[in-house]
Copies of this chain bind each other. A is one copy, B any other.
């Protein structure tokens, strides 16, 4: 059961002019399951991407990087679930290219104008023939109104489809932003989403879009963790269809650029948080904020040490205010000159620890009250600077073990 998260209504996901989506059941791993999605882009769309830092990156990620670097404007995304095509070597690249060649032929475009994405089991051969056989049905299904179908079509261990939209005004023109994401395990920065796609109809310069996509990743998908495992396939793609009629944004720091950034970041954060809310086995949504640090890096180190600790996560699961585990995680986060006497710990509004120890005013029942909530904020004050960072995570339950012990069966 995801934490305070429901699948979106189809009507709440706004169509983006210039973007059509088709989904089909290609039987890639299991029958009767939407597992193949094509996103068809009109000519003139700008596309940018941010990809996994994993050195064992999947074959489709390698091809995406090549094709985004190439001159050819991207015209289609090809997304399958059921198989990640990672840890598959040269054979994996060949099979991924086969699917791109087939889609290019059906759409009468160049192979290099296609970005492929795969998610699912690692180190098994991609069933490229099944994907190729499914392409005509996926193309025939294409419609501007199929964002929800796409959100469903990219799910693996996700329990709900994830999609959000917003609108904003840019230079007197209303522009729309719609995004979808998937991923519930193997989630950690950098690029935790496994897959995220965000599109806008705004007119944006290509170089600005690239800059924007990095900021979106940094402020959303790169600030979540479920289990600390960085996937081989994590990808965020940002699309601007350039149809909204606004004067094209050439400077991200301009008022128009900032409006667009705010709208897209809002969607990106919702999508990233949705992944945590639907984290494998999650029963609680935890916000970890580290304040008064010297650098962004040290704040993130502390936040992730807390967010990754199995002991902290199981205590949240049990609603057990065994909060010394949080202090222990702060202590081993890797700040060599950290002074424990300068640290304060809050659980929501409850001041748990100060001066390196328990706050004398702290009452266990206050900690217990907060721990029982489904949404909890952990605040750590490092007492050594003015920088803050926030990371979102979930608890660690029996269900996590069950899901990951039985994933392939």
Contacts and interface: CB of A to CB of B under 8 A. Distances in A.
Interface string A301-338: 00000001111001101101011110111111001101
Interface in A76-129: 84, 86-92, 121-125
Given A123-B358, A320-B408, A331 B401 contact: no
Contact of A122 (B185, B324, B396): B324
A331 B57 contact: yes
A246 interface: no
B228 A308 contact: yes
Contact of A315 (B309, B335, B358, B405): B405
B340 A228 contact: no
B55 A89 contact: no
Contacts of A324: 84, 86-87, 121-124, 232
Interface in A207-231: 227-231
Nearest to A189: B332
Contacts of A92: 357
A322 B407 contact: yes
Interface string A334-359: 01101111000000000001011110
A168 interface: no
- Most chain B beta-carbon contacts within 10 A, residue among A124, A231, A331, A407: A331
Contact of A408 (B227, B322, B356, B400): B322
Interface string A121-152: 11111000000000000000000000000000
Contacts of A404: 310-311, 314-315, 318
B355 A87 contact: no
Given A90-B357, A229-B329, A338 B55 contact: yes
A400 B400 CA distance: 11
A155 B122 CA distance: 40
A367 to B, nearest CB: 10
Contacts of A401: 314, 317, 396-398, 400-401
Given A55-B335, A311-B227, A338-B55, A328 B406 contact: no
A49 B285 CA distance: 41
A228 B307 CA distance: 12
A295 to B, nearest CB: 16
Given A122-B328, A320-B407, A322-B407, A355 B90 contact: yes
Contacts of A357: 87-92, 123
Given A84-B324, A86-B324, A121-B324, 16 more contacts: A53-B332, A54-B332, A55-B338, A56-B331, A57-B331, A87-B356, A122-B322, A122-B328, A123-B357, A124-B324, A124-B358, A230-B332, A310-B404, A314-B404, A398-B398, A398-B401
Interface of A: 53-57, 84, 86-92, 121-125, 185-186, 188, 227-232, 308-311, 314-315, 317-318, 320, 322-325, 327-332, 335-336, 338-341, 353, 355-358, 396-398, 400-402, 404-409
14 contacts: A54-B331, A55-B330, A55-B336, A56-B327, A56-B328, A56-B356, A122-B324, A123-B357, A125-B358, A227-B309, A229-B309, A231-B328, A322-B407, A400-B401
